Structure 1
Amino acid sequence: MTTAPAAKAAEGPTAKDLDCETTGSSRAYAVCSMTGQGRGTGDSTLGTLTVELRAVNHRGFKCSLRTPEAISPLESRIESELRRHLHRGAINVNVSVERHGGQTPVQINPAVLADYLRQCQQAITDSGIAGEHVTISAASLVSLPGVLTGDQGSSDDDQLWKQVSVVVTAAAANLIEMRQTEGQAMAETLIADCQTIRKHVDSIAKLAPQVADNYRGRLETKVNRLLAEFDAEVGPTDLLREVQVFADRTDISEEITRLGSHLTLFEAVMCGENENAKSGSAKSAAGREEPAGRRLDFITQEMFRETNTIGSKANHAAISALVVEIKCAIERMRELVQNLE
């Protein structure tokens, strides 16, 4: 009897083969969440510095900073320092300074304030609204650059940066620690989904040979009924040829093998133990480590494509049901992967 070649079960090492624990936290997975918070404090010539970081999901790296005027010249350095530690995510940075009691108090620079007031008066005159009641708040005036003097601008940028960079690095380390903790929990869920998919793929591989056998049985029944009705003859060779064509058209062995390979690669990237994944990152053309999240996203897309092909080629109710389960698991994985750095 001619049947489709037996499909192989999903091959490749499992998470356990990769020394990647599936339960508990004894294994440090090579992935991090993109969300989290971090905080760092330290002394400086300006006073006590506090750097607070809040990170949310983003396709790339985006940094938004709020700093005192004395720190604003260092914003580009702060962003560059954060880029060294964080690959992806929208990072909101808030830098604050608490002056020490013995420091020079903040004062108003009357010359700068007078110049701003003169420009405001000129703008009112030029706009043709002179004589009308115009209100300018004191808070708006003192927030303008250069109006307040004292500790602002009193420190050398390079010396100040040495102090600020220590606090920024501490805040980034705090954020990364929180990201890693969240990443481990997400990784355990992803590995569990991989094992679920692998189990379903193994079941599909066992059912695959039945597709051609079932078709042969249905075809023989239909042909025999037609032959009896029209008193015609069909040779066994013709029947076998038709079954072989159907078997070739519905063969899913290659798709099963590729899906198993994608599962193995996904688990390897998660554990940071494949040749291109190191500490959760792959090397870019520039030599910089790239985060694992984007790579895992691409792998899940390929897994979904192979699963779709299996569902469309295999004309079998049980296989179709397993395909639905696999798609559900992959969709859960894709949602989680979107949150990984």
Structure 2
Amino acid sequence: MSTMTKPSVSNVRSMTGQGHAVGPCELGQVHVELRTVNHRGFKCSIRCSDALGGKEAAIESVVKASVRRGSVHVSVSLERSDDDPPARINSGVLASYVRQCQDIIASVQEQGRDAGPTLSLEISGLTSLPGVLSSTTATVSDPDRWWPDVRNVLSVALEKLVSMRQQEGANMAQTLQAECDLIAAELQTVRTLAPRANENYRARLQGKVQRTLAEHDLKVDRVDLLREVQIYADRSDVSEEITRLESHLQLFASVLTSPGGDSGDEPTGRKLDFITQEMFRETNTIGSKAGDPEVSARVVEIKCAIERMRELVQNLE
């Protein structure tokens, strides 16, 4: 009798999750939003502030180090602080302009002429003169200067994302193990019912033959009857399929609890998907060989369980 190995803590992750983090940088506050959904491989779409132009590849590299599979949506925005205006006043240049204007006004007044409103000092006019205002765009457009701060915030958001995916993965692993236990129990029932199915077939065949022979006053060699029953038994023997299916269940449990491999390994979710396909194939063979209604009913239950498992593993990383 085969028994399922109970899993230890599962290391599988769900492909769905989200993470958010906010942190300071030189220019203000960095906001990072991460969201992942199912995908056959790894896909990363990035939306970020213009100030982060050119850092998309670096962002994807950081994300890929933590997420092996799934479609990842990344949003990085910059909220500038109130004390960091987009432009700064060069007070020295402005003071120089003011002195020049004052000298001009004083000179005009010395000549006995009224300077009038046209020569009054207005800040709004002075700030438009060359060199008075300097833009801070140069600082913003140099993300390398504050990229370490952005990367730190991104790492925090990734930790939250991974934690959520691990928790959902652990919940799904418990459900998957319950399905494995159900299949193992149904297989034990099939193993018990299969020999009885052969005996039932022998009894049905013998009764049918005897009725037919009685109607035509004929006799049949008992050896021929036993040979026919043996042919049926060989053709309907499902012991090998049951053994292979039990082996697949053991492998499934092993992969479900194995630690995540390096980046070159096949993702766990994909491995489990392959195993469930093999399980379904063996179950189909058992169903096609089964000539007993009770065995067929058990096969239907096993198929339903495997189908539920396939839906779950397609959501795993």
**TM-score normalised by length of structure 1:** 0.75
Residue in 2 that maps onto 1:190: 176
Q: Distance in 2 between matches of 1:83 and 1:103?
A: 33
Residue in 1 that maps onto 2:36: 55
The reply to whether residue 223 of structure 1 matches residue 204 of structure 2 is: no
Residue in 1 that maps onto 2:249: 263
Residue in 1 that maps onto 2:71: 90
The one of 79, 95, 100 equivalent to 2:60 is 79
Change (3 A) 1:42 1:155: farther
The one of 209, 221, 243 equivalent to 2:195 is 209
Structure 1 runs of 4+ with >3 Å offset: 151-159
Alignment of 1:153-302 (within 5 A): 153-154=139-140, 156-272=142-258, 278-279=259-260, 281=261, 288-302=264-278
Q: Distance in 2 between matches of 1:39 and 1:325?
A: 42
Task: Tell me the matched-pair count.
Answer: 271
Name structure 2 gaps, 5 residues minimum.
Answer: 89-134
Q: Does the 8 Å contact 1:34/1:340 carry over to 2?
A: yes
1:240 Cα offset (Å): 1.3
Q: Does the 8 Å contact 1:70/1:152 carry over to 2?
A: no
Q: Distance in 1 between matches of 2:155 and 2:187?
A: 45
Identity percentage of aligned residues: 52
1:64 Cα offset (Å): 1.1
Letter paired with 1:105: P
Where is the helix percentage greater, Structure 1 or Structure 2? 2
**TM-score normalised by length of structure 2:** 0.80
Q: Distance in 2 between matches of 1:263 and 1:240?
A: 36
CA deviation map 1:212-262 (0-9, x unaligned): 111111111112112222222221211111111111110000110011111
Q: Distance in 1 between matches of 2:18 and 2:138?
A: 28
Helix, strand or coil at the partner of 1:73:
coil
CA deviation map 1:82-125 (0-9, x unaligned): 11110111111111111123324169xxxxxxxxxxxxxxxxxx
Q: Distance in 2 between matches of 1:289 and 1:209?
A: 42
Q: Does the 8 Å contact 2:51/2:142 carry over to 1?
A: no
Residue in 1 that maps onto 2:103: none
Larger radius of gyration: 2
Q: Does the 8 Å contact 2:30/2:150 carry over to 1?
A: yes
Q: Distance in 2 between matches of 1:230 and 1:293?
A: 63
Helix, strand or coil at the partner of 1:33:
coil
Helix, strand or coil at the partner of 1:254:
helix
Helix, strand or coil at the partner of 2:146:
helix
Q: Does the 8 Å contact 2:4/2:249 carry over to 1?
A: no
- Structure 1, 163-172 or 193-202: larger mean CA deviation: 163-172
